[in-house]
């Protein structure tokens, strides 16, 4: 029996397409009311995981349970309990905001009696009330995402699956979207979200960093950052590309990542910093500043990927 506090559980969940293993022995547990994030680049297996957990796709091996129901044997029961917003959610652009919501209410068999209160609430928290008569095709990208979320929530699901919901959305709309998600957490809706944005991963209760179908680590974002034991140095230079190529060859340097005019360098020890400065001076690379920093999630992810390789 599954613990009532666990909403999502997987056991060696695996999906292969021919010789390519998209998801490899996934083992996770997500508690009720948690905001769990799967974080990784394109092609890491995030969408495949979403499709497996929503009982859209059958696994090659392994099992998973959503709200106590098996993805192998109780897929239809699972679909009654969840909301799933895919990367290309099916809004009808020639229908208005209200017509789209009513269409999805019909699909989810929401009664006429239940609709007015639910729709009023959804329009309210998504700030779509002033645009309820506007065609979906005339909405901005951020507003389309909010409408997609409203349609997904019309039947009040227990678990919400969101596959990169803010991809391509402007920063302000991304912020507003996350405010809505935090509101849903207060209602104890479990949210399972995938993203390639490392700054969004910071907002999750827990995250799983995934690379080529393999889960590298699962923990709270702050704890994930502490797993990197080696020092992280930041260097500012107007010649970051040349500096990166030179520094990456210095003995004691583990990884180098470029952020505009800054480089984040993972080093074996603090003495390596002197070697880096000396090598840059010899090569005529201007160093405008250097300091030791706390690793970001991206730094940790890059180091883990290198380690796994």
Given this model, what pLDDT does residue 74 score?
96
- Would you say 136 and 144 are in contact if contact means Cβ atoms under 8 Å apart? yes
Q: Work out the number of other CB atoms within 10 angstroms of the CB of residue 308.
A: 10
Q: Residue written as tokens 């699972």?
A: 78
Token code pair at residue 228: 């990197």
**Domains defined for the chain, CATH in brackets:** 6-224 (3.40.50.300), 232-308 (3.30.70.100)
pLDDT digits (tens, 9 = 90+) for 145-200: 999 999 999 999 999 999 999 888 888 888 889 998 998 998 889 999 999 888 88
Contacts of 299 (CB under 8 A, 6+ apart): 228, 232, 255, 257, 264, 266
* pLDDT for the residue numbered 305: 85
What's the length of the chain?
309
For residues 29 and 6, is the Cβ–Cβ distance under 8 A? yes
0.75 exceeded by pTM? yes
Q: Which residues in the chain come in under a pLDDT of 70?
A: 1-2, 307-309
pLDDT at 151: 94
Q: Computed from CA positions of residues 227, 228, 231, 235, in that sequence, does the dihedral angle turn out positive or negative?
A: negative
By DSSP bridging, strand 214-219 and strand 206-211 are: antiparallel
The pLDDT value recorded for residue 243 is: 94
pLDDT at 251: 94
């Amino acid at each position: 029996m599954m613990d009532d506090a666990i909403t999502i559980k997987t056991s060696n969940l695996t999906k292969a397409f021919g010789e390519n293993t998209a998801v490899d022995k996934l083992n996770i547990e997500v508690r009720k009311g948690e905001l769990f994030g799967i974080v990784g680049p394109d092609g890491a297996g995030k969408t495949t995981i979403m499709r497996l957990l929503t009982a859209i796709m059958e696994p090659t091996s392994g099992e998973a349970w959503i709200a106590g129901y098996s993805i192998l044997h109780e897929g239809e029961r699972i679909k009654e309990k969840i909301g799933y917003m895919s990367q290309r959610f099916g809004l009808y652009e020639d229908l208005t905001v209200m017509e789209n919501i009513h269409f999805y209410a019909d699909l989810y068999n929401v009664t006429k009696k239940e609709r007015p209160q639910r729709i009023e609430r959804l329009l309210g928290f998504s700030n779509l009330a002033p645009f309820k008569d506007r065609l979906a095709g005339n909405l901005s990208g951020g507003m389309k995402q909010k409408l997609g979320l409203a349609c997904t929530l019309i039947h009040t699901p227990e678990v919400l699956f969101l596959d990169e919901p803010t991809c391509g959305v402007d920063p302000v709309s991304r912020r507003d979207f996350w405010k809505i998600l935090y509101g849903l957490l207060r209602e104890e809706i479990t949210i399972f979200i995938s993203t390639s944005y490392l700054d969004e991963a910071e907002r999750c209760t827990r995250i799983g960093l995934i690379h080529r179908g393999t889960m590298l680590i699962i923990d709270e974002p702050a704890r994930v950052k502490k797993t990197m034991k080696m020092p992280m140095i930041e260097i500012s230079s107007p010649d970051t590309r040349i500096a990166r190529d030179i520094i990456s060859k210095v003995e004691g340097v583990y990884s180098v990542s470029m952020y505009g005019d800054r480089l984040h360098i993972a080093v074996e020890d603090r003495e390596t910093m002197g070697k880096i400065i000396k090598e840059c001076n010899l090569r005529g690379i201007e160093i405008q500043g250097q300091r030791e920093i706390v690793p970001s999630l991206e730094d940790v992810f890059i180091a883990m990927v290198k380690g796994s390789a």
